[in-house]
Structure formats: C-alpha cells, structure tokens
Amino acid sequence: MTGNTEIAQAVRNQAGEGLLKEEVLHDMLTLTVEASKLHEILSFLKDTPSMGYTFLTDLCGVHYPDESLPFAVVYHLHNMRANHRIRIKTYLTAENPAIDTVSDLFSAANWMERETYDFYGITFTGHPNLIRILNVEYLDYFPLRKEYPLEDPTREDKDNRFFGREA
C-alpha cells in the first residue's frame, strides 16, 4: 500500500482524463471522477492487490440544486490491511441522474443504492432490485431532494424572533 500521491497517480494512469479532481479533505484522499469511468475505477481499486480497497464503507447521494450537475454519488472505500480510507465522488445531471451499479463489485452496495434511489431518485443501472427500501412504494417524490421550501410560508403562528430573524 502506498500513500495518497501514489494512489492518485495509479488512478490517473487507469482512468486517464476520467479523473477530474484530486484533493485531500479532512485527511482523506478524495477523487472526483467521471460517472462513465466510476465502475472501472472502483473495480481497479478493489481488484488490484497494490490498492486493496476491498470494503465499501458507505455510498450516498447528495443534491446540489443550484449547480450545473446537481446530483452527486459519494463512495467511501477502506483498505483494511493498511487501515486507509479513500473517497470517490461523481456528479450526475438533473435530466438523467443515473449511474452504473457497483453491487456486482460490493454486495453491500445493494441496499445502499436502493436507499440512495429511494431518497434522491438516482438510478443505478443494472441493479438487481432497484425498488424503494424505506419509503412507501407509492410515494411520488424523493424526500431528500432540496426542491421544497424548508418552512411553510403560510404559517401565521410562528414568531421569527425565536429563530434569530427580524420580526
């Protein structure tokens, strides 16, 4: 196992221009990659012995409503032998928030992808059973998207002074 610089270089050699950005955030190497290269990169990190990222710790969605690519999928991988973690991010369009499943690489991704679909509407192409996991199946929206106001503007019973705002 090598350091962050060597890992980033190995991914750059594998992905070419598919590696869009590399940075260290909160002591963790974070690589932003093209969605079309994600599966290939995660497979490389898992299956290459010198990389050894065989454990998917977490997979989640993020919604940035004011950005040109408003959806992100974030993957946290762990090399248990070296006790080293890495974060992989990719961004998706609002018109087609879809990405290839990685449940064929990591069995734990199955439920994590279902949860991300359930709350953000991000589709994982090739997933074996992409249905809602926590919300009711007839829900016609995705509750963690930031498309709705946080407060009810019609309420007359609240006092803005209690929320640190001018009256």
pLDDT tens track, the chain, 167 positions: 468 899 999 999 999 999 999 999 888 999 999 999 999 999 999 999 999 999 999 999 999 999 999 999 999 999 999 999 999 999 999 999 999 999 999 999 999 999 999 999 999 999 999 999 999 999 998 999 998 777 777 777 777 777 777 65
Q: How many domains does the chain have?
A: 1
- pLDDT the model gives residue 2: 66
Is there a domain that residue 131 lies in?
yes
- pLDDT the model gives residue 151: 72
Q: What's phi and psi for 162, nearest 5 deg?
A: -75, -10
- pLDDT the model gives residue 153: 73
Domain enclosing residue 42, as ranges? 4-150
Please, are residues 58 and 76 in contact by the beta-carbon 8 Å criterion?
yes
Is there a domain that residue 35 lies in?
yes
Integer Cα distance of 167 and 145 in angstroms: 29
Is there a domain that residue 157 lies in?
no
Residue 94 per-residue DSSP state: S
